[in-house]
Structure 1
């Protein structure tokens, strides 16, 4: 109060000075006095302005964000309680629950409604789905998020409702939503699950241009994978060429998948696989170790061991170190071609490179020695396998046993069978069949 009194006295002194300077202007003096008195009254009432009972709330309490969130939670709880009794009218229960708390459902709320419909899956779920979609389209006015349609398309695809998924995709703009390539990829993935859906894909590709969707690299990859899954590599390669022409980069994994699919086809020979590999290289494909291995396996099955050896050399020239699997395949191909000289060189080469032979390597090489009637070398290799850290298996013994029976050395064959039993190697009927055939071929019917 002392400060207010001092301020009032100073204002009176200032007023007297102004009136002395402007004696002929009474209006100015009166206005100054009015200003001083009003300031004085305002100063005296400032201490009462921030009292709690005089405070002005900026907004009403029921319009705050936390209150709305709380209302949404209550509406959801009320909806969940209502559907426990009945699942036949989800939309009406949903709207009634939100109307009870005087709030409008949001897009996230409808997303929640669709999840409930998918999880509960009542008997008339297809009719309820159409009813909810019609309600969103004609009653609501918000921009529907794309994630809602993505979940619905996956759900329709799981129930093999491909036509409904296509219809929903082209209906998206009516829900005040601009579809992107993401929802397009989901639709293509749903259609590519079977051959019936694949037949619809070309129509979708053409119609998608009408709603301004530009196919991206991910879309091509989905289509190529689907074509490879059904074994249609030729159309997949056409799509790959079109993809390159559109300016997209070449995905190495996609090319590897196409090459592996080509190698698995039963009606495909090694020459066609090599030509296909060259075509893939022409579009920028850089084969890796597994790719070379698949092609080598295909060449060996086709009886082209020398071509497999040449591809092995190309592999090393490309800076890719072949593993023991590649060498095993090449060894098998050369031995099948009875090119034992090259097979010996390949075996020495893998040892020089520091590769550790596995059981397949020894079985293939011992088979080569037995085919060349080098039984002593084969038996020495078999006996030294354990010292080299690789114990022989039943296939190894069967190879040597067959060679002994063919050579008429039945006594050594019997000794090998006894040795197998002493080492607790399980002898199967095939082993006895080899021994019986050897005895009968040599005229020892009684023992056979």
Structure 2
């Protein structure tokens, strides 16, 4: 069928190969994956002073096919696609906004930020009727690379070219300013939004999301008092009300600096204003309390909120369990772990690692093995530190076979025991006088490509000293 179309097209009188006919033929070739043939026909249309130049339909057919990157026969490079787009542009044919946005996004994700930058500027030079979305994508790409200078330049060029900025545009800009710690610049942009509106007659008013972005940025750099001030500005100047995100940002800021009581006051304030706290609020306050040594207060707060119907999640439980493990309050940590499982929270590897380590230090190897089983049932494996805790714990409890089983399990899982794993075993056997076994473990250590450390040789020297002492008596 397609071969017949090729023969028919080639036999046509040149005067009949008008743009419409070529469009149909190009579409047939592209659907059959014959990109090379289709582009050959297109090249003839792109020639200077061509009598059959491409039109909007040509552009839609070709660019739509290119958008489907998985279509057979499409092996064009990004550079080839850019060249093709600009060739269309020279004939006044420009890609649809959706297609161009997708293309700019793909180029930004490839990390070659100069390519999408150059494409949009070439299209601006060609007076393409560009809309806002592809500029949003490029702004985001520039933000990823930390190129604030070019973000500023692009915003100015959008204004000069009559491309309408909106609250999303400035949201992208402010967000990346805050991410790179340029909070003062972000506040300046936020405060100037009203001035921009008056200067060009276009209404761009900051919304709660923009304020939250700046408040979060302020809190990240320890300037939560200024964040509180912005709440007043939101209400007095914009008629906006803070939401759960606003309060969570501020509570996190105060908790990070140890001002737990300020965080709790904000918690009560949001409830008075009819804003229901969520699990993020709960976890943030509990994390702050635990980080600043208020573990029992954190648990009381947690239990109180559970009584009010606000349940914690895996993050909340992990914070509490880890905190109790860090102060060797193992019984409380185990109780919370059991409660977490009973309430159906998803298991996080971090909480298991922490609990296993503490149980091993306390010599509760049966409980540690039980947590290990739960970890595996959830589809996770221990990390090297967790494995080392188990090896050390079993050896201290004279459960040498269990320790060997753990090392064997590590090897089967493709995880190589490190010097800590082997040194623990060697030190133990040297202390118990099992020097022959210690020597075998050291040989195994070297065979596995693990370089002995000072601790390894220290244990071996102790072994030799004891052997000498026993031989002279």
Structure 2 residue aligned with 1:44: none
Indicate conservation of the 8 Å contact 1:220/1:239, yes or no: no
Cα RMSD (Å):
4.2
Note closer, same or farther for the CA distance 1:253–1:423 as it changes in structure 2 (3 Å cut).
Answer: closer
Report deviation, 1:421.
Answer: 5.7
Distance 1:415 1:153 in 2: 61
Indicate conservation of the 8 Å contact 1:146/1:183, yes or no: no
Structure 2 residue aligned with 1:26: none
Q: Report the structure number with the largest CA radius of gyration.
A: 1
Secondary structure of the corresponding residue to residue 311 of structure 2: coil
Are 2:191 and 1:271 aligned? Answer: no
Structure 1 residue aligned with 2:167: 252
Note closer, same or farther for the CA distance 1:424–1:337 as it changes in structure 2 (3 Å cut).
Answer: same
Alignment deviations for residues 310-330 of structure 1 (CA, whole Å, 9 cap, x no partner): 333433442222222221121
Structure 2 residue aligned with 1:365: 285
Report deviation, 1:331.
Answer: 0.6
Report deviation, 1:187.
Answer: 7.4
Distance 1:394 1:156 in 2: 44
Counterpart selection for 1:199 from 110, 118, 123: 118
Structure 2 residue aligned with 1:61: none
Structure 2 residue aligned with 1:77: none
Note closer, same or farther for the CA distance 1:297–1:124 as it changes in structure 2 (3 Å cut).
Answer: same
Report deviation, 1:414.
Answer: 4.9
Structure 1 residue aligned with 2:212: 293
Structure 2 residue aligned with 1:228: 140
Structure 2 residue aligned with 1:115: 27
Structure 2 residue aligned with 1:350: 270
Note closer, same or farther for the CA distance 1:202–1:247 as it changes in structure 2 (3 Å cut).
Answer: closer
- 1:398-417 matches, within 5 Å, as 398-404=318-324, 409=329, 411-417=331-337
Counterpart selection for 1:382 from 285, 299, 302: 302
Counterpart selection for 2:256 from 309, 315, 336: 336
Distance 1:280 1:438 in 2: 60
Distance 1:246 1:169 in 2: 17
Counterpart selection for 1:239 from 126, 148, 154: 154
Distance 2:47 2:260 in 1: 78
Distance 1:365 1:330 in 2: 11
Note closer, same or farther for the CA distance 1:422–1:149 as it changes in structure 2 (3 Å cut).
Answer: closer
- 1:158-173 matches, within 5 Å, as 159=76, 160=78, 161=80, 162-170=82-90, 172=91
Distance 1:277 1:437 in 2: 53
Distance 1:183 1:374 in 2: 58
Distance 2:35 2:93 in 1: 32
Note closer, same or farther for the CA distance 1:314–1:342 as it changes in structure 2 (3 Å cut).
Answer: farther
Note closer, same or farther for the CA distance 1:197–1:155 as it changes in structure 2 (3 Å cut).
Answer: farther
Note closer, same or farther for the CA distance 1:413–1:197 as it changes in structure 2 (3 Å cut).
Answer: closer
Counterpart selection for 2:352 from 404, 428, 432: 428
Report deviation, 1:254.
Answer: 2.0
Indicate conservation of the 8 Å contact 2:45/2:54, yes or no: no
Report deviation, 1:288.
Answer: 1.8
Secondary structure of the corresponding residue to residue 222 of structure 2: coil
Structure 2 residue aligned with 1:72: none
Distance 1:251 1:423 in 2: 45
Note closer, same or farther for the CA distance 1:340–1:420 as it changes in structure 2 (3 Å cut).
Answer: closer
Structure 1 residue aligned with 2:57: 147
Distance 1:418 1:156 in 2: 55
Report deviation, 1:200.
Answer: 5.4
Structure 2 residue aligned with 1:392: 312
Note closer, same or farther for the CA distance 1:261–1:373 as it changes in structure 2 (3 Å cut).
Answer: closer
Report deviation, 1:290.
Answer: 2.2
Report deviation, 1:253.
Answer: 2.3
TM-score by length of 1: 0.60
Secondary structure of the corresponding residue to residue 230 of structure 1: helix
Secondary structure of the corresponding residue to residue 306 of structure 2: coil
Structure 1 residue aligned with 2:223: 304
Distance 1:110 1:346 in 2: 68
Structure 2 residue aligned with 1:129: 41
Report deviation, 1:333.
Answer: 0.7
Report deviation, 1:234.
Answer: 2.9
Q: What count of residue pairs does the alignment treat as equivalent?
A: 336
Note closer, same or farther for the CA distance 1:292–1:434 as it changes in structure 2 (3 Å cut).
Answer: farther
Report deviation, 1:156.
Answer: 6.6
Alignment deviations for residues 79-111 of structure 1 (CA, whole Å, 9 cap, x no partner): xx3x245x7xx3x52264x77xxx956644332
Secondary structure of the corresponding residue to residue 303 of structure 1: coil
